[in-house]
């Protein structure tokens, strides 16, 4: 029973939040004349001494006191006597643990926001460096149209920017204080919940005592947001794995973010990217785990909720590591611009530009232009050459009205430069978006 019941092995990570909540509670109790000022001062001093010991590593956690709350409370009573036992007046472990976890997740969200900001800036730096560097754009992992590497990197800036906004939304929603809800019904003591909420940096106290102790949707939202962010990191990691492979050779990572083979000395394996990709499954699993824990729980508190912490802790640690690794890879990578440029011209990547020229210059309906372009591509494929390598007579054998002006749209650079619509890949667009993002990030 002790083994299954105790949570101190993992919830001791909440010690700073637990002590902060207890300090705010003690100050409020004294202000409301529920405890004396002398008792308050003894409690605050005792909590400070416990905090110093935990921070230094000299505090002895006990599984007999099953969780972080009881460990600190028992140590406090041992040090200051009766005053320490008064601290728990007008609160319960139910609202105490809800408070601690909200405070912990809020702190983690702030830390992850700083990491996301650093990653965004690293991506912007590389996007600016390669703002005009052609690469093949893919659909179905088949060469589709030429784009720039900077434009490709900006797609991840957009995704991760939305992740950052989701984390901010999550923080705003969780920023309500459950302290004072007590076990489930509130308390008969004349407490001031607005004071404790304000002291702990919350926007307001939670309005319903049952909801305050039993809801874990803030943790679920954190896990869901983290899973979306990890999915974006995983997609980028997959691209790095592909780009770094010999058939592509689009990017190179240094030894700092790759490993060698135990028997093949020539290998440079993108292990950091592969592990970022893999750890997304772990983060997704944590979300499913807590959803499963919570799905059948009646109000209010049940011990099942003890299982909320390990998924939250593991996700926070894992996502922080993935963000750090991804930022490192972004700063480290070098693009092979020659290889990217060469492949950008493969697969008849400017076929859409040819079709657009037929619409724009000859006034053809796009579907007709699409059909004609398909025939021209087939001709180039049969001759084993690119579209720009076909002679004017060969082009006219498919569409007699074609003029020499068509060659102005068939190069990779011309195709890229023409994509000037908002959000398009033209280098000037890319640079404008970089400037806009830098202004937004500050």
Helix axes 217-244, 93-129, angle to 10 degrees: 30
Of the candidates 140, 188, 262, 421, the residue annotated as catalytic is 140
Burial group, residue 64, by CB count within 10 angstroms (0-12, 13-18, 19+): exposed
Residue 83 CA to its chain's centroid (Å): 44
> Degrees (nearest 5) of the Cα angle 278, 288, 298?
165
Give the length of the chain.
442
3-class secondary-structure state, position 252: strand
In our burial notation (b when 16+ CB lie closer than 10 A, e otherwise), range 68-97 reads bbbbbbebbbebbeebbebbbebbbbbbbb
Q: Which residues contact 311 (CB under 8 A, 6 or more apart)?
A: 219, 223, 286, 287, 289, 290
Count CB neighbours of 400 within 10 A: 7
Per-residue DSSP letters for 106-163? HHHHHHHHHHHHHHHHHHHHHHHHTTT-EEEEEETTEEEEEEEHHHHHHHHHHHHHHH
What's the helix, strand, coil split of the chain in %, to 5?
70, 5, 25
The token pair that represents 308 in the structure block? 């909320």
Per-residue DSSP letters for 213-244? HH--HHHHHHHHHHHHHHHHHHHHHHHHHHHH
Residue written as tokens 């008849």? 348
Burial group, residue 148, by CB count within 10 angstroms (0-12, 13-18, 19+): buried
261 carries an active-site annotation: yes
> Degrees (nearest 5) of the Cα angle 8, 12, 18?
115
Of the candidates 36, 261, 391, 408, the residue annotated as catalytic is 261
Q: Which residues contact 36 (CB under 8 A, 6 or more apart)?
A: 30
The token pair that represents 166 in the structure block? 């989701």
Q: Are 244 and 274 in contact (CB under 8 A)?
A: no
254 carries an active-site annotation: no
Q: Which residues are catalytic?
A: 140, 261
């Amino acid at each position: 029973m002790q083994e299954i019941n105790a949570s101190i092995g993992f919830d001791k990570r909440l010690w700073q939040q637990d002590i902060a909540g207890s300090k705010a509670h003690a100050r409020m109790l004294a202000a409301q004349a529920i405890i004396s000022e002398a008792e308050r001062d003894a409690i605050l001093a005792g909590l400070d001494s416990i905090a110093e010991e935990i921070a230094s590593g000299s505090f002895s956690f006990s599984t007999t006191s099953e969780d972080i709350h009881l460990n600190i409370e028992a140590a406090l009573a041992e040090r200051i006597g009766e005053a320490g036992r008064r601290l728990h007046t007008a609160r319960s472990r139910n609202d105490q643990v809800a408070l601690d976890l909200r405070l912990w997740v809020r702190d983690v969200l702030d830390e992850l926001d700083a990491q996301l900001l650093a990653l965004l800036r690293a991506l912007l730096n590389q996007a600016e460096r390669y703002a005009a560097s052609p690469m093949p754009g893919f659909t179905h992992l088949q060469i589709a149209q030429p784009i720039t590497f900077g434009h490709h990197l900006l797609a991840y800036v957009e995704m991760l920017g939305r992740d950052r906004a989701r984390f901010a939304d999550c923080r705003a929603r969780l920023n309500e204080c459950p302290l004072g809800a007590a076990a489930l019904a509130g308390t008969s003591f004349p407490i001031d919940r607005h004071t404790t909420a304000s002291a702990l940096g919350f926007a307001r106290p939670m309005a319903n005592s049952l909801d305050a102790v039993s809801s874990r949707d803030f943790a679920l939202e954190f896990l869901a947001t983290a899973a979306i962010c990890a999915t974006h990191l995983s997609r980028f990691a997959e691209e790095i794995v592909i780009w770094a492979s010999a058939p592509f050779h689009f990017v190179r990572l240094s030894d700092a973010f790759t490993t060698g083979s135990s028997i093949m000395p020539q290998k440079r394996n993108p292990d950091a990217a592969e592990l970022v990709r893999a750890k997304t499954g772990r983060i997704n699993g944590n979300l499913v785990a807590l959803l499963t824990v919570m799905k059948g729980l009646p109000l209010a508190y049940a011990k099942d909720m003890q299982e909320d912490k390990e998924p939250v802790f593991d996700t926070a640690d894992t996502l922080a590591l993935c963000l750090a690794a991804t930022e490192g890879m972004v700063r480290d990578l070098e693009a092979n611009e020659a290889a990217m440029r060469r492949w950008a011209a493969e697969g008849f990547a400017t076929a859409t530009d040819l079709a657009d020229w037929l619409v724009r210059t000859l006034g053809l309906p796009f579907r007709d232009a699409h059909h004609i372009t398909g025939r021209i591509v087939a001709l180039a494929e049969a001759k084993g050459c690119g579209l720009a390598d076909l002679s004017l007579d060969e082009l006219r054998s498919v569409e007699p009205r074609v003029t020499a002006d068509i060659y102005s749209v068939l190069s990779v650079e011309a195709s890229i430069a023409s994509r000037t619509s908002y959000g398009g890949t033209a280098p000037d667009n890319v640079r404008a978006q970089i400037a806009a993002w830098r202004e937004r990030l500050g």
